[in-house]
Amino acid sequence: MGEFDEIIGEFLAESHEGLEQIASDLLILEKAPGDKDVLDRIFRAVHTIKGTCGFLEFKKLESLTHAGENLLNKMRDGSIVANETITNALLSLSDAAREFLEEIAASGSEGDGDYSALTVRLEQLASGDLQQKPEGAAAPASPPTAPPATAPAVTEGTTPQATKKSSPPPKKSKPAPKKAGGTKDGAISERTIRVDVRVLDKVMNLVGELVLVRNRLLQFDVFHKDRNLAGTLAQLNLITSELQESVTRTRMRPIGTMWRSYGRLVRDLSSAVGKKARIEMEGAETELDRNILQAIKDPITHLIRNAVDHGVEPAAVREASGKNPVALVRLRAFHEGGQVNIDISDDGAGLNLDRVREKALNNGIVTPDDLKEMDDSQVANLIFTPGFSTAASVTSISGRGVGMDVVKTNVEELGGSVELITQEGVGTTTRLKMPLTLAIIPALFVETKDTLFAVPQSSVVELVRPRGEGQKESVEFIHGTPVYRLRGQILPLVFLCRELGLDTRKPEVLLGTGSDFTIVVFRAEGQQFGLVVDHILNTREIVVKSLDNLLKSLGVYAGATIRGDGEVSLILDVVHLANRSGVIAGAGSSLIGKSTGKKPLQEHREMDEILVVKGPAGSQMGIPVTGIERLEEFRLKQVEQAGGRQVVQYRGDVLPLVPLEHLLPERRKEEREPRTEDEKLLSDMERSRQTLQVVVCEFGSHEVGLVMERVLDIVSVDKATMGSATRDGTLGTAVIGERITEILDIDNLLFVAGEKGLVLPETSAQA
């Protein structure tokens, strides 16, 4: 690539970013015409594009942006005030400039497009000739469909090969175009550079291979107890993890960069369908892998179009029902449980579930008997069926029934899931749960019939291990479907060996063998089910490898990975596995989530998963699951002394053990004489069974094991019902199982205990 082509590439990338910012800021300016900072930002962006066009001799684009700059200058000095007509004209300028850039990227020239009429309109607005025209006289340059697509290769910093112009660039030496009023641009450029995304992808692939090598070396360390080798491997493990984290961050982008165009989309759509709507965004700084961002842009666009076209009511209808005539479409992104949740909400009429039932029956999707067994949540999810639509008529915007199923399919192909929460007359929320990245993910390894499989850890809710001779009796059969009663809920079971054809015997026969089994509880499409496996192994970070089309077509595998021992394991596609088994397939899912009474559909509530444990003196305490790495059980004879602390050898490292009671403020203040190891760690119950129940938590770059009296349960707690904290080291209180339960702030407790030397043994830093 020649020097001139590189200059063109830089110009295209910067200009695309500038146009995205311009379109977003114009909508802000339309609502707040007096916002001088926003106006200055728009002016600087247009000025920069115009200046670079002059340098590169793109005369048409220079002329167009010059006319826009003159109009903006008049707005800056106060002689013209922003209104809908001016906003439409400047948005048309943004669209036209984007088309110029796409032509330049493709051919190296501005093409044959004629935008002289737009240039004249901008000049007339600047002179005041069009100021008295009624609002709406100037229509948007493009129809209100999806926002103009930005060429991904350009916006991500790539430098597309542009054909050289017939005449070389000017020979005169000229500095880079100045940015008006941009004193901080220089400071930003000193600490940022543009990198071709293909280079980042290559580095990410190499880091993935390094992770595989690291995993194999750690496996080697298990069988070789050389201290020098162990120390070197521990250091390699740490450096590899930090390198992986750093490289992953280079591929992360704030979701707000994708959201910028949605303000324009809502504005144009609401105008096209004769409604009034505005958009609010929360969590725009939340970051996702750039590949995931690009892949979910179209699904989110479709959901927004649905919200405006079908979800919200016309202004007159809203006023008659006591609502604000201007409808609200809300985007919200936030982290939860190692995933990013993206909510697309509207305050419209909600789904008409009776109409959904009617359409489903008429289209032959379900039978009347099926509908009788389905609750409101399952009925609402019928809209994800291919071809399903409740629209009364087909328009250019929506109503053909080819959207929601595509949204669901696209999201699931990325390892995500879709949930729908709706309440008639109140509104609808569609929640996308997405992984942070697709390249390297934490996974749980399970074994069935001597074969190891990996499942993404983000989709695992909990592990259930029926104990003792009552294992077989703990599983019941309802209409031939095996189920397990978990805290009053019926949990449908899927036997992995049967679904994969490794053992096709009936569940009754498999249970009759007397072999131990474990239930892995998953959540798919807002519903839970249990996957029955022989054994649970461990969790590891794995590198996801794509599959051949032959394996993809089976529909139960999401990819493959290479284990530490060099063998290959397939990664299970949990959602498709559940669909294939029938436990969440529309009408066939009537058993899921059933309890003794049918609960009405409710608005979405913020819930916290809490691990309930028995605390000191018989008290009941809770630990947020988000702060827990793993639950382990150690035999007493595994406990060793190191640096005056109790530790166990754990995953090639030293895991300090700390009784939970020693972290509580009132216990830390007590001056205690040194006691025996048993007295420090064990209650009478623990001494009798000779095992320790341990919650493994992260503490800085180390892990710490909190010794519990007993792990009782995992429950969901509504944040709104939690009481305030009663003392230091707690997040609040909740009523769980008819008992007051303190919710512990483990991060705070570990930090304070670490400062007092109660957490890490002196030798752990060397491990």
**Same domain as 540, residue 627:** no
* Domain annotation covers residue 104: yes
Instruction: Say if CB 499 and CB 491 are below 8 A apart.
Output: no
* Domain annotation covers residue 176: no
Question: 486-535 pLDDT, tens per residue?
Answer: 876 788 898 999 888 888 888 888 887 767 888 999 877 667 889 999 98
**Same domain as 637, residue 565:** no
**Same domain as 740, residue 627:** yes
**Same domain as 409, residue 260:** yes
**Same domain as 693, residue 711:** yes
Instruction: Say if CB 712 and CB 613 are below 8 A apart.
Output: yes
* Domain annotation covers residue 152: no
Model confidence band, residue 163 (pLDDT cutoffs 50, 70, 90) = very low
**Same domain as 417, residue 499:** no
Domain boundary among 127, 145, 179: 127
* Domain annotation covers residue 173: no
The residue segments making up the domain with residue 515 are 441-588
Highest averaged pLDDT of the listed ranges 340-344, 369-373, 605-609: 340-344
Question: 95-132 pLDDT, tens per residue?
Answer: 898 888 888 888 888 888 888 899 888 888 888 766 54
Instruction: Say if CB 266 and CB 304 are below 8 A apart.
Output: yes
**Same domain as 580, residue 481:** yes
**Same domain as 715, residue 618:** yes
**Same domain as 643, residue 554:** no
Domain boundary among 239, 268, 296: 239
**Two tokens, residue 289:** 């892998």
Instruction: Say if CB 62 and CB 53 are below 8 A apart.
Output: yes
Chain-centre distance for alpha carbon 613: 30
**Two tokens, residue 737:** 């199982």
Q: What does the pLDDT average to over 253-265?
A: 87
pTM score, two decimals? 0.56
CATH number at residue 64: 1.20.120.160
Inter-CA distances, 89 with 70, 121, 245, Å: 13, 8, 45
Q: 613: part of which helix (H) or strand (E)?
A: strand 607-614
The predicted structure's pLDDT at residue 167: 38
Nearest CA to 762 out of 686, 681, 702 is that of 702
Q: What does the pLDDT average to over 422-433?
A: 90
Q: Give residue 178's identity as a one-letter amino acid code.
A: K
* Domain annotation covers residue 169: no
CATH number at residue 324: 3.30.565.10
In 287-405, where do the E strands start and end?
A: 287-289, 327-336, 339-346
CB 326: neighbour CB atoms within 10 A? Answer: 14
Question: Which residues have CB under 8 Å from 596's CB, separation 6+?
Answer: 488
**Two tokens, residue 714:** 């995992």
* Domain annotation covers residue 700: yes
Q: How far apart are CA 8 and CA 12, in angstroms?
A: 6
Q: How far apart are CA 394 and CA 397, in angstroms?
A: 8
CATH number at residue 534: 2.40.50.180
**Same domain as 286, residue 235:** no
Nearest CA to 758 out of 686, 707, 683 is that of 707
* Domain annotation covers residue 161: no
Question: 39-72 pLDDT, tens per residue?
Answer: 888 988 898 888 888 878 888 888 889 988 888 9
**Same domain as 257, residue 232:** no
Question: 588-604 pLDDT, tens per residue?
Answer: 333 434 433 333 333 44
Total number of domains in the chain: 5
**Same domain as 364, residue 499:** no
* Domain annotation covers residue 162: no
Q: Give residue 537's identity as a one-letter amino acid code.
A: L
Domain boundary among 66, 92, 127: 127
Residue with tokens 């461990």: 538
CB 431: neighbour CB atoms within 10 A? Answer: 17
